[in-house]
Amino acid sequence: MTRSNRQRKIKLAFEQTSLRIPLGEIELLRAMPESTRKSPKYGQIAASITEVGIIEPPVVVRVPGKDERYRLLDGHIRIDILKARGDKDVVCLVATDDEAITYNKRISRMAIVQEHKMILKALEKGVSEEHLARAQRQHFKHSQQTTLAGRNLR
């Protein structure tokens, strides 16, 4: 490696601090279809926000030439839910490049096995089954033999 290669700086994908941004300063790239609002996934995200808050902050980019204006790259459902609840602002990650066209193509959705491990970890940290069930909008019948995580109690 040459000296000039070692001295190149890597550009960060996000600003180093997140920002609390008024919802009115965030420009949406698309309208929320009513069919999305009625979907089970939308309901699950809304329940999760109600129970535990925003876990994955929306991603915005600064709008060039417009002070204090941001374009939403990821998090349209979360923003829609927050607006419907009457929230005034949200903590966001601020991207350094406008990659709205490709942003969601780079997202790897969580596999069922990963979700199961995440639930187990939350249970180990003391989150109650009822709290997790409400956050996931699940209705579990509790029995004396098994728990939400499928562990045997006997």
Q: Which 3-state string (H, E, C) describes the chain?
A: CCHHHHHCCCCCCECCCCEEEEHHHEECCCCCCHHHHCCHHHHHHHHHHHHHCCCCCCEEEECCCCCCCEEEEECHHHHHHHHHHCCCEEEEEEECCCCCCCCHHHCCCCCHHHHHHHHHHHHHCCCCHHHHHHHHCCCCCCCCCECCCCCECC
Instruction: Examine the pLDDT at 82 and tell me if it is beyond 90.
Output: yes
Q: Quote the pLDDT of residue 124.
A: 82
Q: Quote the pLDDT of residue 152.
A: 44
Q: Quote the pLDDT of residue 44.
A: 87
Instruction: Examine the pLDDT at 150 and tell me if it is beyond 60.
Output: no
